[in-house]
């Protein structure tokens, strides 16, 4: 097999150690050596650049590109799959080589990427958003029409559940459909006009059933959780990650620390809702008002979680905002008190750990898959990072 050596670059290995001059050698899709003075059959000159592990985004929606109600009802059903192909390619070009789709992508999209039919980050998929009747994932409108963000279809079964027995059925149905992770709403949300982000959804009994069903199949649960009580219910049930975490209180933070629960902040999400509204997306007034209310509260909650030592992994909720702007999240994370190194750790090795892939991805280390991003200039210059991505390698093959 051909040995490729990346020479002359500054390596950020994903552990948080200071970037240092080093060579990286890859062979047969894996990293085989990191050090100085290495050689190979061919060389990639990385002088003046930084080398990063392939980045992660732990919260995306690749089948969603528009939030406006009118746009959704006028777009043909199958158009979403072509949008997904475009959105995946756009994301890969940023150096994001692994994503967790938090509802929308089905097994066919994941397999199309894995088989090389379309280029994109490797996918972990939730398929559907588990919601109670009237909850964050219920697309019912006062007119009586129901317009969810993601319409059910054979590969994406309906995920509405009320009571422990229905929760068990929905969990098993999504697992059968190929879910790598189960996503549940334990609170209301910003984009659902008729609920409140601070209010809880699902009882602890219902959540216990969900976590048990997932665990029996070796899967974890992620929770859309914004209000403090719903966050605490999720943590007490053993849910692995809190998505958003807008109204964290001290007790919630203490519980997360005690249980080792992850936070995926998605700080850019409410910012993007407000941008969409300003651009004429036609969002309900209640949605815009909620986004305005939570933006500052959200950032303060994340600051407190960071200061307390809660485990953080990078995620953006892209789809709520434009795909291709994912790396804006990094500067927002830094503004919440994370050091530049910690931000990159949250986007590489910590994200890999959240997804259970820490032995395979997230670091530039021998034995890991050869996902590398070559960045011109300073890897800590987050506002310029997207524009500075020069090359993206995935499993030892140059993708960008």
- 63: closest CA among 121, 124, 105, 17? 105
List the structure tokens of 234.
């999720």
Torsion over CA: 328, 346, 96, 103 (sign): negative
What CA–CA distance (Å, rounded) separates 244 from 164?
25
Q: Which helix (H) or strand (E) holds 42?
A: strand 42-45
What CA–CA distance (Å, rounded) separates 152 from 368?
37
Contact 185, 201 (CB under 8 A): yes
DSSP state of 328: H
Which one from 106, 317, 357, 371 is the annotated catalytic residue?
317
39 is known as an active-site residue: no
Please state the separation of Cα 48 from the chain's center in Å: 30
List the structure tokens of 166.
């229905």
183 is known as an active-site residue: yes
- 264: closest CA among 347, 174, 168, 377? 347
3 state SS of 32: strand
Contact 36, 21 (CB under 8 A): yes
Q: How many other C-beta atoms are found inside a 10 Å radius of the C-beta of residue 130? A: 31
Strand partners, 392: 373
Contact 395, 54 (CB under 8 A): no
Which one from 183, 232, 290, 357 is the annotated catalytic residue?
183
For 63, half-sphere exposure in the C-beta direction (CA atoms, 13 angstrom radius) is 29
Residues with active-site annotation: 183, 317
């Amino acid at each position: 097999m051909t040995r490729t050596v990346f020479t002359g670059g500054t390596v950020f290995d994903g552990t948080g150690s200071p970037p240092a001059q080093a060579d990286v050698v890859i062979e047969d899709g894996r990293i085989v050596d990191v050090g100085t003075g290495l050689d190979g059959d061919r060389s990639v000159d990385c002088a003046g650049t930084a080398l990063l592990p392939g980045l992660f985004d732990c919260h995306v929606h690749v089948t969603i590109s528009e939030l406006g109600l009118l746009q959704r009802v006028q777009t043909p059903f199958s158009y979403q799959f072509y949008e997904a192909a475009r959105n995946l390619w756009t994301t890969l070009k940023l150096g994001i080589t692994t994503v967790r789709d938090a509802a929308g992508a089905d097994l066919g999209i994941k397999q199309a990427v894995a088989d090389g039919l379309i280029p994109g980050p490797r996918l972990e998929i939730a398929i559907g958003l588990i919601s109670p009747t009237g909850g964050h994932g219920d697309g019912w409108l006062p007119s009586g029409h129901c317009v969810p963000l993601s319409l059910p279809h054979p590969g994406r079964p309906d995920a509405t559940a009320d009571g422990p027995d229905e929760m068990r059925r929905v969990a098993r149905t999504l697992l059968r459909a190929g879910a790598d992770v189960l996503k549940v709403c334990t609170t209301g949300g910003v984009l659902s006009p008729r609920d409140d982000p601070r209010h809880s959804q699902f009882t602890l009994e219902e959540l216990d059933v969900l976590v048990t069903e997932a665990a029996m199949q070796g899967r974890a649960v992620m929770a859309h959780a914004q209000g403090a009580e719903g966050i605490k219910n999720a943590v007490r049930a053993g849910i692995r990650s809190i998505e958003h975490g807008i109204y964290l209180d001290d007790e919630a933070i203490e519980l997360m620390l005690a249980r080792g629960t992850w936070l995926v902040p998605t700080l850019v999400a409410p910012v993007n809702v407000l941008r969409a509204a300003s651009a004429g997306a036609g969002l309900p007034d209640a949605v815009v008002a909620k986004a305005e209310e939570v933006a500052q509260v959200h950032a303060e909650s994340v600051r407190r979680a960071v200061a307390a030592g809660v485990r953080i992994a990078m995620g953006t909720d892209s789809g709520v905002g434009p795909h291709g702007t994912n790396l804006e999240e990094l500067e927002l994370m830094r503004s919440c008190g994370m050091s530049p190194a910690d931000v990159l750790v949250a986007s590489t090795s910590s994200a890999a750990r959240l997804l259970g892939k820490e032995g395979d991805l997230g670091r530039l280390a021998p034995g890991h898959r050869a996902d590398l991003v070559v960045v011109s200039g300073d890897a800590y210059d987050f506002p310029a990072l997207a524009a500075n991505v020069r090359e993206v390698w995935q499993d030892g093959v140059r993708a960008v």
